[in-house]
Structure 1
Amino acid sequence: MLVQGIVRRLVAPLARLVYRPVVEGRGNVPERGPVILAANHLSFLDSIVIPLVAPRPVAFLAKAEYFRRPGFLGWLTRACLTGIDAVPVPRGGHRAAQESLEVALGILAAGRAFGIHPEGSRSRDGRLYRGRTGVAWLALASGAPVVPVAVAGTDRIQPVGARLPRIGRITVRFGAPLHFTPGSGSAGQARRAVTDEIMAAIRELSGQELAEGYNELSATTVR
């Protein structure tokens, strides 16, 4: 809790001062109760920026190896991730992905906000890839509304492979909440339809070019 307080009181204002983020639609995020924030994914920074500008704490799942990096940068990464309530999870395979979704479901069951990148891994070409259905599984299993989120500019500030962020402008747009109930047809068809609706809402906010398929760099359904 001490680390979280330091990050929110010191790092968040500093980040706003340096990066001057443009934040739109904060009022679309429910003030209380379970909610899923489903966002596009351009940079490692996305999962840090969204919790810093959202009107309430947002928990993201983060690769466990981020918490094990050595040296000062490793310590700084751990401090930031801990401060924004990130939850470490292992990577690799269907079982790890399902276990991660169960962790996320527990976060929602506790009435908290949970953030997810339905594309999986970061887009390396700026296009919006097809969403994986873990986000729909969470929405249908929890009954939580889904707020689509579009982040822009983080790929220029910290491109894939960059060790340190650059100076630049970030934009975060929160869309109107989407509500889902299990529909007709198979469970797989329902999850696909819900996921496609969520991705269409993200694209409307981001204006990104659509990629035809999945981001094959994705290792699980939750990042």
Structure 2
Amino acid sequence: MKNEVSAQMSVYQAAKFFVEPLVKVVYRPRVEGLENIPASGAAILAANHLSFSDSFFIPVVVPRHVTFIAKVEYFNTRGLKGMWNKYFYARFAGAVPIDRSGTRNATTAALEGAVAVLQAGGLFGIYPEGTRSPDGKLYRGRTGIAEIALRSGAPIIPIGIVGTDRVQPPGKKFPRLSRVTIRIGAPLDLAEAKALAKPALVRRAITDEVIEQIQKLSGQEYRPVYASDVKEGKAAA
């Protein structure tokens, strides 16, 4: 795994050399709290998810390589879009594919992939909501992030993203010009959550704390339901 991380970092740095100056000139992203990103060692970067472009702006502003989870469909799409997705997620982002059908084997594989990145000393990026917000609000977190933190022992760093839903709204193929702000919080103190008696309560308490801190950074309105349920309800309607 360490060799794979090193290879991904080489590709990442090469791509970032060309992409970062262009993005900074065109979009002029504001970054607050960059000092909270450790210079070395493992950490989990937990952000809200407004747009496809979130996974583009975070790697641009963070000075280290960030590995993300990405739905497995991004690796299977055909045509030019499929080629771009494979390059961006597999090479630039070094993404861990996840099958969102919810099967136990797929979920376990994704968790193990995330833990392996962290055990190799890398940064792992994750969106605790599990999917993009359908309306700009912040939604209830999935407890996978807590499981990753507990298995790896890595600290969780909350990130609040503002403005990427204007750069590339859901369903839009091409980005627009708009300012983006990325606020990076301090690593979370999860001692109180970890002291709870039952593992399920620990995972939920950790996840809720992560979402609460993201909300403080992003300023979003919070809804205590899953974003995926809202999307399914809209699709059914």
Q: TM-score, normalised by structure 2?
A: 0.86
Unpaired runs of at least 5, structure 1: none
Offset, 1:133 = 0.8
Q: Does 1:118 align with 2:138?
A: no
**Residue aligning to 1:72:** 80
Which structure has more helix as a fraction of its residues?
Answer: 2
Amino acid at match of 1:60: F
Do 2:96 and 2:114's aligned partners in 1 also have CA atoms closer than 8 Å? no
Q: Does 1:189 align with 2:189?
A: no
Cα-to-partner distance string for 1:130-173 (whole Å, 9 max, x where unaligned): 11111111112211111000111111111111111111111111
- Aligned residue-pair number: 219
User: Which of the pair has the greater relative contact order for Cα pairs under 8 Å at 6+ separation?
Assistant: 1
**Residue aligning to 1:97:** 107
**Residue aligning to 1:199:** 211
Cα-to-partner distance string for 1:95-126 (whole Å, 9 max, x where unaligned): 12232111101111111110110001100111
2:149 is paired with a residue whose SS is helix
Q: TM-score, normalised by structure 1?
A: 0.91
**Residue aligning to 2:119:** 109
Q: Between 208-217 and 61-70, report the one with greater CA deviation.
A: 61-70
Distance 1:67 1:15 in 2: 25
Q: 2:180 aligns with which of 170, 175, 179?
A: 170
Q: CA RMSD in A?
A: 1.9
Q: 1:42 aligns with which of 50, 58, 66?
A: 50
Do 2:160 and 2:214's aligned partners in 1 also have CA atoms closer than 8 Å? yes
Identity rate of aligned residues, in percent? Answer: 48
Mark the CA change 1:70 to 1:160 in structure 2 (over 3 Å): closer, same or farther. Answer: same
Amino acid at match of 1:121: T
1:88 is paired with a residue whose SS is strand
2:51 is paired with a residue whose SS is coil
**Residue aligning to 1:13:** 21
